[in-house]
Structure 1
Amino acid sequence: MSLLRSARFPAVMLLASAAAGLIVANSAAGPGAAELKAVHLGVPGVFELSAGHWIADALLAVFFFVVAVELQFELTNGQLNSPRKALQPAIAAAGGVLVPIIVYVLFAHGTEAAAGWPIPTATDIAFALGVLAVFGRGLPSGLRIFLLALAILDDIVGIVFIAVLFTSDVDFAMIVAATVALAVFAVLSRLLDTRARVPVAIAMGLVAVATWYFVYESGIHATIAGVALGLAMFQTPALRVRHVLEPWVNGLVLPLFAFSSALVVIPAVSPRELSPAFWGILVALPVGKIIGITAAGWISQRVGHKEGDERLPLGDLIAAGALGGIGFTVSLLLAELAFAGAPGIRDQATLGVLLGSTVSLILAGVLVSWRSWHYRHHPVPATA
């Protein structure tokens, strides 16, 4: 289990799962895998989803729960618990969202692919921290803190996009039911440290499932239920639950989602015939993120700088920008949501996410290695 809690191994598993999905989809086993993904599971006539939707809507809600618990901690006790701490990474994150959108729109404006503009805005925390763990020996803590805060803020933006842009036919009665269930869950979480912890935990599990169901039926994307539950849960037990769930998320949920999302047949067309969605994402992730995060990060250190504050060198900001271009998990989900009604464009957008994230991964590995070498040979002087 400790291996699945490390920064390196889960990132490797995620990459291997995505590669496996792409290989299977383009092999003789591809049609069978696609049929398996489309099989409906559940209670016939009552509630059924395809296997692919169970993965993206239900299992991925567990991932978002874990993310939300981390968000809650960082917003209350961590690197984002004051406006001053959050200002610089918030400005950098804004640049890392806006510039990729602009790059994407330059490719896709006026085409049916234009709806995919949110896709290149996400950063995969697991991958970014994995690259740091593999290549970042000797990096100063300030860069790690900046990157963590940046990735968390990116996650918040992605969550907002999912909640706002991909909500349709809202059922307000179901929203009220989900809100009531969420409130019950929050109250129960405060009773977990009592002698009745076992029945309380069972009740919380049932209420969590009910909350997810109500959110799904409300028209809001079901993964938002995971976010709401993670933010609503009392922090001390929430951190314990996160610790228990983390290896399952890293070892099962995310690899399964990456494999399922990457079950895409590579189109046998010339580069000119590829969708603007593919090209927009391919360029926006590595190039847009580096430009946006580097430029906005440089500006933020002058706007929010106070005497005595440490500034990240330009090389560190460029490395952070490359790490920010590793989209994977949330970008894959955004691709599925943005082009749910256009499977052809969705598949090419997925390929754009996989290839753009891989390019960013390689760039980040090179740049982080360079910065690590720099700090090992030119150590930062200790401050009193």
Structure 2
Amino acid sequence: MMVLRSERFAAALLLVAAAVGLLVANTSAGPAVLSFSHTDVGPAPFHLSVAHWVQDGLLAIFFFAVSVELQFELTRGELSNVRRAVQPAIAALGGVVVPVVIYLAVTAGHDVAAGWPVPTATDVAFALGVLAVFGRGLPGGVRAFLLALAIIDDIVGIVLIAVLYASDLRWGMLALALVAVAVFAVLSRMLGGRGHVPIAVAMGVVAVAAWCFMYLSGVHPTIAGVLLGLAMAQGPALRTRHALEPWINALILPVFAFFAALVVIPAPGEGLSWAFWGVLVALPVGKLVGISGAAWISQRTIGRHGEQFAVPDLVAVAALGGIGFTVSLLLASLAFAGSAQDQDAATLGVLAGSVVALVLGAALVAWRAAVARRKEIV
């Protein structure tokens, strides 16, 4: 069970699942698998394709776990202290703004501006997994900085999903979803005493109801997972996240990555939408420049009293920030929901850009770790 909780295992499995999905889509089995992913299942009004059940349903569990970690970090972790939070917050801001600017610059004159949110995300599990593999010997503060940076990035991604991709908002259903979240929060504070099993079952039913109401409201249903994770009492929430972690690492994220990567690569000469080039450049380059530049500025201005990092360490962390994967893949599907060609191109851009960032980040982290180990020996 421990291996299923490993950051290294999670990162490796996510990469393999995406690679398998891309490979399968471009073999003779591709049409059948793609047809299956588009098969609608479920009762009305929840008659969704298999791919959408994975994206909207399973991924809500992942966002629940992310928001539980966010709640902990905001109250007791790296983001609970303003002085410690200011540097990663500024770095995250740079890592959002610069990729957007680069994406819009690369795609100027082409009708794919809707994809600007795609390169704003950092995959926290993947980035920490690469750091765990190649970063032996780096100061512990580097991991804490990357974790805080990635979590703030997740907040930005969650806000973008909630604000940009709500459609035909139905306030009554949204109110019912919020009521369900409130009931869930109250029930979570009743756990621990006698009769906790019926309470836990009731919480499961209420959580499903919150998801259903959120879906019917027009807000992306993964936001239900976010709100439930933030509202749940911290003790039970952390225990629940611990129980879910192996399932998220070994099943939910790989299944999502597989379905998200089911993209047919255009034949030579067909060309790719400019969404591909925009994401391909903006994700690794934008994150590298934006995060390292903003972090460097913050260290010398308002963040100068916090922990100081060597510039090469900041650059290594910034390179890891370009690994978009999970949230970027979700944003690609939402941003280009009306254009299959642009959606596929943006997805390929996420995969290619994340691989570039992975290789560059791994090389820089390994170099900085080797330098740190040599200093310890001396």
Normalising by the residue count of structure 1, what TM-score does the alignment of the two structures yield? 0.96
CA distance in 1, matches of 2:307, 2:35: 54
- Partner SS, residue 112 of structure 2: helix
Q: Tell me, yes or no, if structure 1 residue 314 matches structure 2 residue 342.
A: no
Displacement of 1:111 in angstroms is 2.1
1:172 to 1:380, Cα distance in 2 relative to 1, 3 A: farther
Match of 1:233 in 2: 232
In 2, Cα distance between equivalents of 1:42 and 1:310: 51
Deviation at 1:213, TM superposition (A): 0.3
Determine if the alignment matches structure 1 residue 259 to structure 2 residue 244. no
Find out whether 1:10 has 2:10 as its counterpart: yes
Q: In the alignment, what sits opposite 2:127? A: 128
Partner AA of 2:344 in structure 1: D
| Matching residue of 1:365 | 362
Per-residue CA distance 1:277-336 (angstroms, 9 max, x = gap): 1001101111111000110000011122455x4311110010011000000000000000
Aligned runs of 1:204-283 on 2, under 5 Å? 204-270=203-269, 273-283=271-281
**What does residue 84 of structure 1 align with?**
83
Quick one: percent identity of the two aligned structures? 61
Check if 1:40 corresponds to 2:37: no
- 1:255, distance to aligned residue in structure 2 (A): 0.1
Which shows bigger deviation, 129-138 or 109-118? 109-118
Is contact 2:184-2:232 (8 Å) kept? Answer: yes
Measure, in 2, the Cα distance between the counterparts of 1:178 and 1:101. 32
Kept after mapping to 1: 8 A contact 2:298/2:304: no
Distance in 1 of aligned mates of 2:109 and 2:213: 36
Alignment partners' CA distance in 2, 1:86 and 1:347 = 36
Query: Which residue is 1:292 aligned to?
Result: 290
Q: Any conservation in 1 of the 2:84–2:307 contact (CA below 8 Å)?
A: no
Cα distance between partner residues in 2 of 1:286 and 1:15: 16
The aligned counterpart of 1:26 is 26
What SS does structure 1 have at the residue aligned with 2:42? strand
Query: 1:345-376 CA distances to partner (integer Å, 9 max, x unpaired)?
Result: 10010000000000000001100000000100
Aligned to 2:146: 147
Corresponding residue to 1:302 among 300, 303, 311 = 300
Quote the Cα distance in structure 2 between the aligned partners of 1:380 and 1:310. Answer: 23
Deviation, structure 1 residue 168: 1.2
Report deviation, 1:162. Answer: 0.3
Q: Does the aligned pair in 1 maintain the 2:174–2:214 contact within 8 Å? A: yes
| Deviation by residue 1:228-274 (Cα, 9 ceiling, x = unmatched) | 00000000000000000000001100000000000000011448x32
Hey, what's the Cα distance between the residues in 2 that align with 1:102 and 1:305?
Answer: 25
- CA contact 2:284–2:354 (8 Å) conserved in 1: yes
Structure 1 regions of 5+ residues with no counterpart?
Answer: none
- SS of the equivalent of 1:47 reads coil
| Aligned position for 2:160 | 161
User: In the aligned structure 2, how far is the partner of 1:235 from the partner of 1:46?
Assistant: 33
> Would you say the 8 A contact 2:137–2:373 is kept in 1?
yes
2:321 match: 324
The Cα offsets for residues 18-64 of structure 1, whole Å up to 9 and x where unpaired, read as 00000000000000001110111112x45311100000000000000
Could you say what secondary structure the match of 1:110 adopts? coil
Paired residues, what number?
Answer: 378
Distance 1:89 1:328 in 2: 20
Partners of 1:323 and 1:231 in 2: CA distance: 26
One-letter amino acid of the counterpart of residue 34, structure 2: A
1:280 counterpart SS class:
helix
2:68 and 2:241 in contact (8 A); partners too? yes
Question: What is the letter of the counterpart of residue 369 of structure 2?
Answer: S
Q: CA deviation at 1:107?
A: 1.4
Distance 1:256 1:312 in 2: 37
Aligned CA RMSD, in angstroms, stands at 1.3
Amino acid at match of 1:32: A
One-letter code aligned to 2:203: M
Residue 343 of structure 2 is aligned with which of 346, 349, 354?
346
- Cα distance in 2 between the residues matched to 1:19 and 1:160: 29
Q: CA deviation at 1:82?
A: 2.4
Q: Distance in 1 between matches of 2:377 and 2:300?
A: 21
Partner SS for 2:41: strand
Report the CA distance shift for 1:21/1:295 in structure 2 as closer, same or farther (over 3 A). Answer: same
Partner Cα separation in structure 2 for residue 305 and residue 328 of structure 1: 29
Gap runs ≥5 in structure 2: none
Provide the C-alpha distance between the structure 2 equivalents of 1:37 and 1:111, rounded to a whole number of angstroms.
29
Determine whether 1:191 maps to 2:190: yes
CA distance in 2, matches of 1:110, 1:168: 27
Please tell me the residue identity of whatever aligns with 2:289: I
Q: Distance in 2 between matches of 1:305 and 1:220?
A: 36
Post-superposition Cα deviations, 1:175-208, rounded to whole Å, max 9, x if no partner, equal: 1101111110000000111111100000000000
Task: Write the distance in 1 (CA, Å) between the matches of 2:337 and 2:303.
Answer: 44
Greater than 4 Å deviation, 4+ residue runs = none
**Residue type matched to 2:38 in 1?**
A
- Alignment of 1:102 with 2:105, yes or no, is no
SS in 2 for 1:230: helix
